[in-house]
Structure formats: C-alpha cells, structure tokens
Amino acid sequence: MKVGILTGGGDCPGLNPAIRGVVYRGLDFGFDFVGIQEGWRGLVKGIYEPLTLESVEEIIYQGGTMLGSSRTNPFKKDEDLQAVLGNIKEAGFDAIVACGGEDTLGVAAKLYTQHGVPTVGVPKTMDNDLNETDFTFGFDTAAGVGMEALDRLRDTARSHRRVMVLEVMGRHAGWVAWYVGVAGGADWITLPEEPLDVDAMCAHLSAVKARGKKYALVVASEGTELPVAAEGEEQKLDAFGHVMLGDRNVGEFIAEEIQRRIGWETRAAVVGHVHRGGSPTLFDRVLGMRVGVKAAELVQDRQFGQMVALRGTEVMGVPIEQAVARLKTVPDSLVQMVKTTFK
Ligand code: F6P
C-alpha cells in the first residue's frame, strides 16, 4: 500500500514520534510511505518528500514536525478540494494518515464520508480538547512548559511582593490552565468553562494578602470569557473560522483589573508559542509512538474514517466524525474541584 502522512494545525511535541510510529509499524506490513508537507496544503499543491526508516529513525526526541504544518482548510474553496482529490488520485495513495486536532481531523472525516477518501486520524493537540480520547500527545509537554514558567514566576513574584498573572494557551478548553494552575499551586485559575468573576477573584486575592502571603499567582486561560467585550474589537479568524485568542490579551486585562481594584502591584506574562517547542516528554513520545503504530494497524485492517483514541491504558479506533463532533472541555467536577485549591 502507498500511504501518505500529513501533520496539520498547530504543531506540538509528539508529532515526530507519531510519524515514526506510523512508519515503523507500516514497514512491518510492507507499506510505502510518502510525507505530505505542510498539512492539507501539501495535498492542495502536491508537495511531498520521501519517508523512509532512515528519515524517521532519529526524530523520536525532536519537537515540531519534520513534515511542516499549516492551517489550510481545503473545504474553503472548491478548487482546493478538487486539487486535493486530483492529487490523491495522481499520487496513487491507498490511504492518508492525518495527524491533527479538531480542524485537520474534521477535513479527514469529510474527505472520507463525502468523497470516499481512505483516511485514518492520529489525534494531536496541546489543547487536549479532542473528544473521544483521554489525552492527546503535546498536552503533557505544553502543560509542563507552563508549569515551569509558573515556578519561575513564583520566585520573582515573591521577591517583589507582587501578583503575577500567567496567560496560557488552550483555546476554548481550560485543560492547560487547569493542569498548570493545580501543578504550580496557583492562587486563582481562570478557565473558558466558567465566565471570569473579577469580584470573586479580587476578593480572594485580598484575603490571601490579608492572611500574610506576600505574593500571589494567577493562571489565566487564553480562552477565558471576559466580563466586558472589548468594544469595536475586531476578531481575527483563521481558515477554520476560529478566533485567534492570543490577540485578546486576557492576562494583561486580568492583571490591570487586579491592580486597579485592590491596589496590589501586578504583572502579566504570556507563555504563548513557547508551550509548543522543545523535546517531547516521555509521556508524549510514548503516546505518539503508540497512536502512530495503531494508525498503521488501522490502515492495514482498512478501518478508514477511524481515529486512534487513548481510552484508559488502551489505544483503539473510533469514528473520526465522533471525535470532532464536539470539543472536550474541562468537566464541571474538575472546575469545582479546583476551587478547593484556592486558600
Ligand atoms: O491549538 C493549539 C494552539 O496552540 C492554541 O492553544 C492556540 O490558541 C493556537 O494554537 C495558536 O495558533 P497559531 O499557532 O496559529 O498562532
């Protein structure tokens, strides 16, 4: 079988181990591999590279994706869709393994259901917001980077007797903020799952100060719903119609509110794309390899339209359509639990 592999959407550590996993297992079945560069853009434009044992052997510890990535949505323009379908035919692909999040896998699902393209999905996202799977690779590394940033902010916050607000990525799911805040011992955490209550946050920070603590740490998810919509603010959208959240300066807004309302000197810092760089953690390397291996097995079994999911300790195939039908956000039990960590 001739199998094309692509990686789409925001990159994250674990993509290279996943590519390696697909190739390693596929070689057992005698597959020929082609690397499709830059996500779905590579199929619109027909840009490929050879993918061999030698080209993937060393990439297990490398961040990013050797194939490149983009947020190209081929369903946006009919000519792009036709180009994708034409290139798949011309290249003679028997299967396409798409590694990505909600958007990239949404395209894989539609290509399969609407056009019969034999796709298999590998779930990746630092946001951990993909439904049907317990964890996605990239999350552990990205949240770990956020935790380290919070540890560093604690030192400077304590020295200057300040509040430090750390804005973390995660889009419309608060997984990264929740884990960073809990693991880093934050005094307050704001999540997209619950509108920001500035009064409650400031009252709590005042109480923290009153009990003698000389600094405080706040973790703010970039997707936090702010109490006042910035009037006239033009929202920038990506090719899939998602708001580009980094431009909203959530951390800065929260820091200004704290300083203005309770007079405690406050600074904001943003982790941003630093989350996504660096070597994948042990967890992300192993998960990447496991889901990659399983993806090759799904191709061998012709289980197309399926995505690999981690359920407990097992990896298994689930319909891609089901995985992209809705976002996996932080459940209310965890949203409530986190409040017991604010003392
Ligand atoms: O989906 C991953 C992610 O890192 C989000 O957490 C963030 O909102 C977005 O990508 C940033 O996208 P870009 O790399 O296009 O700026």
Q: Is the CB of 125 under 6 A from ligand 1?
A: yes
Claim to verify: residue 144 and residue 272 sit in the same structural domain: yes
Write down the H helix ranges in the chain. 15-28, 40-45, 53-57, 78-91, 102-115, 139-160, 175-183, 198-210, 250-262, 282-300, 320-324, 332-337
Which residues neighbour 334 within 8 Å (Cβ) at sequence distance 6 or greater? 178
Claim to verify: residue 108 and residue 43 sit in the same structural domain: yes
Tell me: pLDDT of 247 over 90: no
Claim to verify: residue 45 and residue 123 sit in the same structural domain: yes
Residue whose Cα lies nearest atom 13 of ligand 1: it is 10
228 C-beta neighbours (distance < 10 Å), count: 9
- The owner of tokens 């607000």 is 165
For residue 229, what pLDDT is reported? 60
What are the residue numbers of the active site? 127
Q: Supply the range of the domain harboring residue 261.
A: 140-276
CATH number at residue 157: 3.40.50.460
In a domain, 316, yes or no: yes
Claim to verify: residue 118 and residue 207 sit in the same structural domain: no
Query: Of all residues in the chain, what percent carry a pLDDT higher than 70?
Result: 98
What is the whole-number distance in angstroms between the Cα of residue 133 and the centre of ligand 1?
A: 20
In a domain, 332, yes or no: no
- Per-residue confidence at 231, pLDDT binned at 50, 70, 90? very low
Claim to verify: residue 6 and residue 103 sit in the same structural domain: yes
Q: How many domains does the chain have?
A: 2
Tell me: pLDDT of 234 over 80: no
Claim to verify: residue 315 and residue 244 sit in the same structural domain: no
For residue 202, what pLDDT is reported? 98
Looking at the CA of residue 9, tell me the nearest atom of ligand 1: 1
For residue 169, what pLDDT is reported? 98
Residue whose Cα lies nearest atom 3 of ligand 1: it is 10
Mean pLDDT in the chain?
96
Claim to verify: residue 88 and residue 113 sit in the same structural domain: yes
Q: Which of 276, 307, 332 is the last residue of a domain?
A: 276
Tell me: pLDDT of 320 over 80: yes
Residue whose Cα lies nearest atom 8 of ligand 1: it is 171
Tell me: pLDDT of 235 over 90: no
The whole-angstrom separation of Cα 164 and Cα 152 is 10
